[in-house]
Structure 1
Amino acid sequence: MDGVIQEKLKEIEEQFQVKVLFAVESGSRAWGFPSTDSDYDVRFVYIHQPEWYLAIDPQGIGDKRDVIEMPINDMLDISGWEITKALRLFRKSNPPFLEWMYSEIQYYEAYSFKEKLKGLEDEIFFPNASLYHYLNMAKSNYRTHLSKEQVKIKKYFYALRPVLAAAWIKERQTIPPIDFYDLMEALVPNGKLKEEILDLLVRKKAGEELDLEQRIPAIHQFLDSEIEALEAYAKTLPPRISDPTDKLDSLFRETLQQVWK
């Protein structure tokens, strides 16, 4: 599949007259719990030629879209964000974009853009925004998929992972690991809860993610208590004061010059 992805990225550069800065895997494969039939969720950041930006209508308006989305098939979902869109999301500490930055499954990287992004992490990352994102994701998935007496195995992980990511931010004030196993090892002590989660992880990877079964009390108790604690903590968080826009403007201009000479 790597070869197919590389060819698709080249086609995108030629078709849209852009340069791809980096491309990574997102979703369940990057999180460490793919099943036997999981597709590939490829995400990338790209930059247009200077003329694209030197115009009276900004990108994102009318025909000047700030995303590129390729037709999805059964095995491959590939889409990307234009660099200024990506930087605006980075300014907000947007977790999906931060996960792109730190995905361990990388398909392509050129120039120094991603390296410089990581160099700005300590100045740009705003823990509060990311914590709220993961907390709201956990609550939504829990409410939608785990409130009945019978649940699908797959849905446990889409509540557990954001809860653990939010808990990591609460404790360490840093970007949480992408891999679910790393989060679990750091935050879930040895015992019945961990055993239940590990068992589900094995079963999900084996393709049992669509099976309905009775709720697992240990996991539900953990999710209930963690969500309650995180909600209480979130209410104590102060608003952001600093504005990193100048630094991100500079990174955009530097990348534009580097890519297009």
Structure 2
Amino acid sequence: MSQIKQSILEELKRIEREEGIRILYACESGSRAWGFPSRDSDYDVRFLYIRPVEWYLSIFDKRDVIERPISDQLDINGWDLKKALRLFRKSNPPLLEWLQSPILYVERCSAASRIRELASQMFSPRACMHHYLHMARGNYRTYLQGDTVKIKKYFYVLRPILACEWIEKHGEMPPMEFQQLADALIPEGSGLKTAVQELLARKIAGDEMKDEPKINVINEYVETQLAEYERIAKDMRTAEGEDGGMDAKLDHLFRSVVYEVWEKDEWDGYFV
């Protein structure tokens, strides 16, 4: 086991002790899971957790996230399972991405697998496309205007645009890894594919990639695709479960996980 993974697992165990929780699932998010980390990229660890039954039996609203300050390249935060299921009901893309992360740290109990089983019914192409469009527009506007640009930020625009195309073509949650999206959706032999692959190789190799002249073939592609998916997004379908028919299933999932976790005499199976 690598030293960084050991550190992450130890930190998750410490959070369990300090917060009195059980961590159900933990994975890598961000650039490492997307497949384009820089040499100095943080480890973006995201987790789902559950508290004892008594915590939920209260007349008061309570904080349903746990966040830790970034230290030693670790950025760690998590969501209570109830919060996660409420967001899942709205087809929350970050949560759906976490559940298919290629870098897994913890998976215990049945919660994550049961949520995955319902994902196709709760997936809303419209909601997810709007999420990725918002991300692409914001990053493009902030980083990629002018004659010189923050060139590594191209990935934070290209990935959500490719995610929109995947949703349009397949009607499902896009793969998390950038290379898989690029291989499937950018035509081989095109100037765009060459420019993107060269940029990706530089980033993975640790190139500093400071402000440089913009890459016209990528900018033109981005502007065309943004306009196209702005037009398409409003007509995409919503989720099958948005009519409330899934509410009883999600309630049952939550309650059964609470019992599954806190009726255990031992809590094991930590490492993956």
Give the TM-score category using the shorter length.
over 0.9
The 1-side partners of 2:83 and 2:6 are apart by 28
Corresponding residue for residue 243 of structure 2? 242
Partners of 1:29 and 1:40 within 8 A in 2: yes
The 2-side partners of 1:90 and 1:194 are apart by 34
1:209 Cα deviation after fit: 4.5
Partners of 2:49 and 2:78 within 8 A in 1: yes
TM-score by length of 1: 0.95
Q: Residue 9 of structure 2 aligns to a residue in which SS?
A: helix
Corresponding residue for residue 170 of structure 1? 168
Q: Residue 130 of structure 1 aligns to a residue in which SS?
A: helix
- Asked if residue 26 in structure 1 is aligned to residue 25 in structure 2, the reply is no
- Asked if residue 38 in structure 1 is aligned to residue 37 in structure 2, the reply is no
Partners of 1:153 and 1:208 within 8 A in 2: no
CA displacement, residues 175-203 of structure 1 (integer Å, 9 cap, x when unaligned): 10000000001110012110100000011
Please give the root-mean-square deviation of Cα atoms over the aligned residues, in Å: 1.2
1:36 Cα deviation after fit: 1.0
Partners of 2:42 and 2:75 within 8 A in 1: yes
The 2-side partners of 1:54 and 1:236 are apart by 41
Corresponding residue for residue 259 of structure 1? 261
Q: Residue 243 of structure 2 aligns to a residue in which SS?
A: coil
Distance of aligned partners of 1:239 and 1:185 in 2 relative to their CA distance in 1, 3 Å threshold? closer
Match of 1:49 among 42, 49, 52: 52
Mean Cα deviation higher: 234-243 or 111-120: 234-243
Mean Cα deviation higher: 222-231 or 25-34: 222-231
Corresponding residue for residue 152 of structure 2? 154
What pairs up with 1:100-119 in 2 under 5 angstroms?
100-119=98-117
Q: Which 5+ residue runs of structure 1 have no aligned equivalent?
A: none
The 2-side partners of 1:238 and 1:126 are apart by 7
1:248 Cα deviation after fit: 1.1
1:210 Cα deviation after fit: 3.9
Q: Which 5+ residue runs of structure 2 have no aligned equivalent?
A: 264-272
Corresponding residue for residue 140 of structure 1? 138
The 2-side partners of 1:198 and 1:4 are apart by 33
The 1-side partners of 2:236 and 2:39 are apart by 41
The 2-side partners of 1:209 and 1:30 are apart by 20
Partners of 1:152 and 1:209 within 8 A in 2: no
Corresponding residue for residue 219 of structure 1? 218
Mean Cα deviation higher: 210-219 or 20-29: 210-219
Q: Residue 174 of structure 1 aligns to a residue in which SS?
A: coil
The 2-side partners of 1:132 and 1:34 are apart by 25
1:122 Cα deviation after fit: 1.7
What pairs up with 1:199-210 in 2 under 5 angstroms?
199-210=198-209
Mean Cα deviation higher: 243-252 or 77-86: 243-252
Partners of 1:153 and 1:209 within 8 A in 2: no
The 2-side partners of 1:255 and 1:206 are apart by 43
Partners of 1:24 and 1:43 within 8 A in 2: yes
The 1-side partners of 2:249 and 2:105 are apart by 27
